[in-house]
Structure 1
Amino acid sequence: MSQKRHAEDGKARSEGGCPEDKKRKVPSLKNAILEVMKMQSSVQHLMEPILEPLIRKVVKEEVETALRKHLSNMKRNFEKELHPFESRSLQLQFSNALSLPVFTGTRIEGEDCSSIQVALVDGLTGEVVKSGPESSARVEIVVLEGDFDGDEGDNWTLEEFKNNIVREREGKKPLLTGDAFLNLKDGVGFVSEISFTDNSSWTRSRKFRLGARVVDNSDGTRIREAKTESFIVRDHRGELYKKHHPPSLMDEVWRLEKIGKDGAFHKRLSRESITTVKDFLTLLYLDSPRLRNILGTGMSTKMWEVTVEHARTCVIDKRIFMYCPPGPQQKSGVVFNTVGQLMGLLSECQYIPIDKLSETEKVDAHNLIGTAFKRWGEVVSFEDESSLTGGSSHLTDVHHPSSPRTETNF
């Protein structure tokens, strides 16, 4: 019995173990923490020289970026305080007028054959906006109704502008062909090669306008669109019959306003051998009533005035002519230009310009010009009017005829 108790006690001591032995085998938490701290200190000493400059650089860049944004916002807010409506005053503008008339298939140009220019301007000052994101905006050229003015003149809304954009007719090509987009640079851009594919006769006003609007305006700033004056677009085939401004002397007479090619007035003039603008002007100066009678009552007074005014814009060369009627002395005569317009008189070898003549002298001189055209062989020519004002020595032989010229039928 005693032996059995001793055996169990031994077993219990063997399984439980000695407290001192157990303490030696398990490492303490304190030691573990100390070891980690030692390792952290070593790593910190190694990484600090590497990480510190990098962190400083990143922080510096972020601070500078934030500062720039803050200063920019302050400046914008300050400008808005000075000009509270400036953010809404930006507008596009066509800087030059269009070259008219406009025909389908022909490049749309500005005056003097220049490119059409579009600019972004400040509505308050009228100056071109050369800086800021808007100054490099992308712009689209569109076609507008010719009668689009907006409910309040130039203060139309974006919706009004969109509603007046003209689309192509069903089954037709887009109204504009070519590059209808342009990019502003320093607030200015130029329209590239664009042309119309259809005429404007089918629209409600029978006219078009060109419009310009900013696309991809990400910041939402309202930039008012631009529009040109209204204009008619004619079919290209009409260009063959267009009027010349100004006409030339040798243009066919139907190039004058209100005289249509192969029309009634053209046929009336042709029957009287009036086939060129020069013929028209000559009869206008020699016998205006006869010319008016040839055109007949079908040409109203208003139409007559328009035609005559257009004809008188013709560029006439500086050459002048002189006719001295037969006589013992032949020292007096009449001076006129190539279409029979009175320029002055020659009296005793002295030239007197028209502004120095009396009304009676003008009537007599006009009659003398009619005689000169009938007796063209006795007419002499000079390079210009100054040839007659430089002295009289070269006028003593004015009776000698100039180079032969085909006589007119007038």
Structure 2
Amino acid sequence: MGPARQIGGSSPKRIEGPDGQNLQLHFRSRLSLPLFTGGKVEGEQGAAIHIVLVDVSTGHVVTSGAEASAKLDVVVLEGDFNNEADEGWTQEEFESHVVKEREGKRPLLTGDLQVTLKEGVGSLGDLTFTDNSSWIRSRKFRLGLRVASGYGEGTRIREAKTEAFTVKDHRGELYKKHYPPAQDDDVWRLEKIGKDGSFHKRLNNNGIFKVEDFLRLAVKDPQKLRNILGSGMSNKMWEALLDHAKTCVLSGKLYVYYPDISRNVGAVFNNIYELNGLISEDQYYTANSLSDEQK
């Protein structure tokens, strides 16, 4: 073996190759979940997905030799393949769990389906799932890596696998609620407001298109807002809707209203018309410090 460098993490289980080498491919990054059809497969927080070739007996990355420059195939595996993380598997077991596309469908995984290691390290390229995972037994997939045909002959390099994950249809993403909602989100991103449903249409017909519009009326005239939504919305739904809306992070903009030209006293409001405080004779008083009479 050539020179190696130490990496963190626990060593995978020892695999004896025919020449005594103990090599395994390993994913060094976790996937960003959930995954949707048509969406890019990425690491957590949008990072690249890194892979390494490890000498299992030492935990070091193999940085030289033919194996350190091997070409790898990216494949999709059954989600229930080898549930025990420390359990070994044979090449035949790995191959028997590779998932192909459904009949009549496009290839299940598209994009850069091969990776070439450089000094034992590589990164996945652009990858996209074209189908969801609901149709297979476990209802989940894994990504797998194996040495491409013609590389690493005579040496058993154990394949890599990711954690099991669900792939959902992209249309689920299109209708997803946001936690927390943004003030410029469409109002149907709030709980209990279905996209193009009756509540959504009622709000739109009354000029409420964004979460910010909803919050402004909730502060200014909550009863009017409740009436717009009508009797089809139960009190429990109304409370859940308000609770979700109130988690919205506001812009931080403040507005001062002076009731007369002297500008001796000004009321300070945030962007959804909540009273933040009072300016009086160049002094600022928070809303909490004001008496009911002052408010």
Instruction: Provide TM-score, normalisation by structure 2.
Output: 0.70
Given candidates 219, 226, 229, the residue that maps to 2:161 is: 226
Matches of 1:101 and 1:363 in 2, distance apart? 51
Residues 301 and 249 of structure 1: is their aligned pair in 2 closer, same or farther, counting only changes over 3 Å? closer
Asked if 1:194 is matched to 2:194, the reply is no
- Larger strand proportion of the pair: 2
Match of 2:248 in 1: 312
Matches of 2:183 and 2:157 in 1, distance apart? 53
Matches of 1:244 and 1:186 in 2, distance apart? 42
Asked if 1:275 is matched to 2:212, the reply is no
Given candidates 66, 73, 87, the residue that maps to 1:155 is: 87
Matches of 2:96 and 2:164 in 1, distance apart? 18
8 Å contact from structure 1 (residues 274, 280) kept in 2? yes
Which is higher, the Rg of structure 1 or of structure 2? 1
Secondary structure of residue in 1 paired with 2:245: helix
Residues 305 and 273 of structure 1: is their aligned pair in 2 closer, same or farther, counting only changes over 3 Å? closer
Give the letter aligned to residue 165 of structure 2. S
Count how many residue pairs are aligned between Structure 1 and Structure 2: 275
Match of 1:10 in 2: none
Matches of 1:306 and 1:109 in 2, distance apart? 32
Match of 2:233 in 1: 296
8 Å contact from structure 1 (residues 249, 276) kept in 2? yes
Residues 345-402 of structure 1: CA distance to partner in whole angstroms, max 9, x if unpaired? 3243212346xx34xx38778xx5xxxxxxxxxxxxxxxxxxxxxxxxxxxxxxxxxx
Shift of 1:242: 5.2
Give the letter aligned to residue 218 of structure 1. E
Q: For structure 2, list consecutive stretches of 5 or more residues without a partner in the other structure.
A: 4-12, 16-20
Matches of 2:162 and 2:197 in 1, distance apart? 37
8 Å contact from structure 1 (residues 212, 226) kept in 2? yes
Asked if 1:209 is matched to 2:142, the reply is yes
Give the letter aligned to residue 233 of structure 2. G
Shift of 1:160: 5.2
8 Å contact from structure 2 (residues 14, 56) kept in 1? no
Secondary structure of residue in 2 paired with 1:312: coil
Asked if 1:165 is matched to 2:93, the reply is no
Secondary structure of residue in 1 paired with 2:68: helix
Give the letter aligned to residue 116 of structure 2. N
Q: Aligned Cα RMSD in Å?
A: 4.2
Residues 304 and 257 of structure 1: is their aligned pair in 2 closer, same or farther, counting only changes over 3 Å? closer
Matches of 1:90 and 1:287 in 2, distance apart? 64
Larger RCO (CA under 8 A, 6+ residues apart)? 2
Match of 1:259 in 2: 193
Once the two structures are aligned, what percentage of the paired residues are identical? 41
Matches of 2:222 and 2:184 in 1, distance apart? 20
Residues 189 and 351 of structure 1: is their aligned pair in 2 closer, same or farther, counting only changes over 3 Å? same
8 Å contact from structure 1 (residues 93, 121) kept in 2? no
8 Å contact from structure 1 (residues 286, 340) kept in 2? yes
Matches of 2:286 and 2:24 in 1, distance apart? 57
Give the letter aligned to residue 253 of structure 1. V
8 Å contact from structure 2 (residues 23, 156) kept in 1? no
Q: For structure 1, list consecutive stretches of 5 or more residues without a partner in the other structure.
A: 1-71, 76-83, 369-410
Give the letter aligned to residue 312 of structure 1. C
Matches of 1:269 and 1:347 in 2, distance apart? 38
8 Å contact from structure 2 (residues 31, 41) kept in 1? no
Secondary structure of residue in 1 paired with 2:145: strand
Match of 2:73 in 1: 140
Secondary structure of residue in 1 paired with 2:158: coil
8 Å contact from structure 1 (residues 95, 119) kept in 2? no
Matches of 1:172 and 1:307 in 2, distance apart? 39
Residues 171 and 213 of structure 1: is their aligned pair in 2 closer, same or farther, counting only changes over 3 Å? same
Matches of 2:162 and 2:273 in 1, distance apart? 46
Matches of 2:97 and 2:160 in 1, distance apart? 12
Matches of 2:142 and 2:265 in 1, distance apart? 59
Match of 2:27 in 1: 93
Match of 1:69 in 2: none
Give the letter aligned to residue 213 of structure 1. R
Match of 1:179 in 2: 112
- Larger helix proportion of the pair: 1
Matches of 1:125 and 1:297 in 2, distance apart? 62
Matches of 1:258 and 1:180 in 2, distance apart? 41
8 Å contact from structure 1 (residues 150, 160) kept in 2? no
Matches of 2:78 and 2:243 in 1, distance apart? 29
8 Å contact from structure 1 (residues 115, 190) kept in 2? yes
Give the letter aligned to residue 220 of structure 1. T
Residues 304 and 245 of structure 1: is their aligned pair in 2 closer, same or farther, counting only changes over 3 Å? closer
8 Å contact from structure 2 (residues 25, 54) kept in 1? yes
Shift of 1:241: 4.5
Shift of 1:129: 3.7
Give the letter aligned to residue 124 of structure 2. V
8 Å contact from structure 1 (residues 149, 156) kept in 2? no
Residues 298 and 139 of structure 1: is their aligned pair in 2 closer, same or farther, counting only changes over 3 Å? farther
Residues 235-255 of structure 1: CA distance to partner in whole angstroms, max 9, x if unpaired? 4x5665455677553332123
Match of 2:281 in 1: 348
